[in-house]
Chains A and B, each alone.
Chain A
Amino acid sequence: MKQLALSKLNELFAAMAAQQQLYIPADKGGQAQFLPYVDGMELTKSLNTARSAKDLFFPQTEDIVGFQVKGTEITIEETRDPGAPFVVFGVRACDARSFEILDRVFLSDPVDTFYETRRTNGTVVTLACTRPEETCFCGAFGIDPANPGGDAAAWMAGETLYLKANTKKGEKLLSSLPLLADCDDNAVETVQAEIHAITEKLPLNKLDLTGFDGDHLMEHFNNPAWSKLSESCLGCGTCTFVCPTCQCYDVRDFDTGHGVRRFRCWDSCMYSDFTMMAHGTNRPTQKERFRQRFMHKLVYFPSNNDGIYGCVGCGRCLAKCPISMNIVKVAKTLGEGTK
């Protein structure tokens, strides 16, 4: 384990940024977001960013390929940027888990090479949550905010920042920073105990997810509660856009005037045109669309992925939903059905 006086945090950021692009969670436009580090930039005081660090690995829009169409002929133009190594500092434990979930989608055969390249280029430094909030429920998914994942983990305790490598990539980063001093592995035990004392009391952290598995798929799907739960859903898609694990995308073409760019962009199963085809849609009302999102996170995804839920309990959808509907309410209501 390494340590550094928190007063020297900016020196650490400067040292990282001198080696490779660095992103830290900072305030801009009234909200916390991951921004490219510039000298003197300060870490946000917010617990977490409005949007997760998903953007850095799976951007909201990205070019896939370009085309030139001349007469009857088409030529393909590689538009891909090979990218460069980067570090993202300050990812919370919940968001760090979301990468494991996204990996299962994008790195499974056939591999999404755009995502793969960014995962290879990126080093994730997590930051333990010293004061989890009441919308947090990562504990329900077995995530420990006092012991976050990522390539390296960081803790802030008193006037000191502690850092510990979890992977070779993390090891490489930490060993390249001479201003870090060695320290004992148990240096963070006190702060970890303090975090656990808070998470113990979090109202949503003990969300019971028994019965959410492939065995009860049809029971959950046919639960009459979906009508009531989805009744007020506006279909705005905010929950999907702030979600660190939502990965549905659209592929579209754009004529730039100098050729065609094929790009992909985030999409949302909450939207009516998501499954709309020329002959109609298989999810005609908001009830079906609403059900799809929660069934996917709580039942379909775990059924295909060794029981791992497609939710990390970050609480963003709880905070942002304009009608105060959320995955906790859904899970509790459905859970009643299988007890």
Chain B
Amino acid sequence: MTMRKDPLIPMIGVVTDIRMDTPDVKTFRVVGLDGKKPFEHIPGQCAMLSMPGIGEALFSITSSPTNEDYLEFSIKKCGCVTTWLHEMEPGRQVTLRGPYGNGFPVDTELKGKDLLIIAGGIGLAPVRSVINYVRANRANYGTLDIVYGSRSKEDLVDYAEIIDEWCKEDGINVHLTIDREQEDWDGHVGFVPNYVKELNFDTSKTVVMCGPPIMIKFTLAGLEELGFRRDQVYTTFELKMKCALGKCGRCNIGDKYVCKDGPVFRLDQMSELPDEY
């Protein structure tokens, strides 16, 4: 009997570049053994990265599908696998499998819309893929507002790209904020939910949001105060996963599996599910 390759068996990838983004976030470029992009994906989709002997974990793909050369993962150092990744040198091989999940509806529901992207901290990782996809297909979308906040200026992920590229493009309004005053910062100071309310966005916009659960909760309340409906807001979740195939049972919320039915959900759909995320 010929056996098919099991979906749990990964491929080998090579980490070609590691960029230090913040004191605890690094961005890893990964290619296949042939030096090419390992697979195609949709913004918001994820992949399993692992180092044999250390463990396997799921990360969102932060590069845009329009990038033809490699996949990028922005990873915060916070656990076993991520600590190992932060300590590795470029040139090393890792294993990867994917892509997993549904991704943001960039070619359907988001198309033609004025977009409001809201991110907090490492929550920029999955939505950066959306932002760069929209930038590469500019004619397909309306205006692009980006609200991004972090603890401090140093904790803003992809700061160079934000300042050198996003801020300089027509049709993109970038609104940065940090939690507390600091010397070399003349921008906005305050938490993301309040800043979103202050900016008083037009309610015709479609919202894409990612950040810590507490930010999501208060930002959603703020958006609703402004008059946004839950069905205008998309967010992405991350729960513990082992298989990413909808079988190991870990990321089950209600009758959904975050790995295959998500990780992107429209917030009105989330309202029908148990509050276990």
Chain A residues, CB < 8 A from B277: 282
Chain B residues, CB < 8 A from A288: 276
Chain B residues, CB < 8 A from A276: 240
Contacting chain A: which of B90-98, B154-162, B196-204, B216-224? B90-98
Known: A117-B3, A300-B255. Is A69-B276 also a contact (CB below 8 A)?
no
Whether A253 is near chain B, meaning CB under 8 Å from some CB there, is: yes
Whether A140 is near chain B, meaning CB under 8 Å from some CB there, is: no
Interface string of B243-277 (1 = CB under 8 A from A): 10111111011110000000000000000101011
What's the least CB distance linking B111 to chain A, in Å?
Answer: 27
Chain A residues, CB < 8 A from B253: 282
Interface string of B26-56 (1 = CB under 8 A from A): 0000000000000000000000001011111
Chain A residues, CB < 8 A from B89: 72
Among A64, A80, A253, A300, the residue within 8 A (CB) of B252 is A300
Known: A117-B1, A217-B255. Is A250-B240 also a contact (CB below 8 A)?
no
**For window 61-80 of chain A, which residues contact chain B by CB distance below 8 Å?**
64-65, 67, 69, 72-76, 78, 80
Docked Cα-Cα span, A120 to B1, in Å, equals 10
Interface string of A265-280 (1 = CB under 8 A from B): 0010100001111110
What bracket does the count of chain B residues touching chain A fall in? 35 or more
What's the least CB distance linking A266 to chain B, in Å?
Answer: 10
Among B3, B9, B55, B94, the residue within 8 A (CB) of A64 is B9
Q: Tally of A-B residue pairs with Cβ under 8 A?
A: 133
Q: Is the CB of B10 within 8 A of A110?
A: no
Q: Is the CB of A279 within 8 A of B53?
A: no
Known: A72-B91, A110-B7, A275-B239. Is A247-B52 also a contact (CB below 8 A)?
no
Docked Cα-Cα span, A113 to B247, in Å, equals 12
**For window 52-81 of chain B, which residues contact chain A by CB distance below 8 Å?**
52-56, 78-80
Whether A283 is near chain B, meaning CB under 8 Å from some CB there, is: yes
Q: Is the CB of B250 within 8 A of A248?
A: yes
Chain B residues, CB < 8 A from A67: 52-53, 95
Among A112, A249, A260, the residue within 8 A (CB) of B6 is A112
Among A110, A221, A249, A262, the residue within 8 A (CB) of B274 is A221
Chain B residues, CB < 8 A from A255: 53
Q: Is the CB of B10 within 8 A of A112?
A: no
Docked Cα-Cα span, A106 to B40, in Å, equals 25
Interface residues, chain B, with chain A CB atoms under 8 Å away: 1, 3-10, 12, 50, 52-56, 78-80, 82, 89, 91-95, 239-240, 242-243, 245-250, 252-255, 272, 274, 276-277
A72-B91, A74-B93, A217-B255 are known; give 13 further A-B pairs, CB within 8 A.
A67-B95, A74-B52, A76-B12, A114-B6, A249-B242, A250-B248, A253-B52, A253-B55, A267-B249, A278-B78, A278-B79, A296-B249, A304-B255
Interface residues, chain A, with chain B CB atoms under 8 Å away: 64-65, 67, 69, 72-76, 78, 80, 82, 105-106, 108, 110-114, 117, 120, 214, 217-218, 221, 247-253, 255, 260, 262, 264, 267, 269, 274-279, 281-283, 288, 292, 295-296, 299-300, 303-304
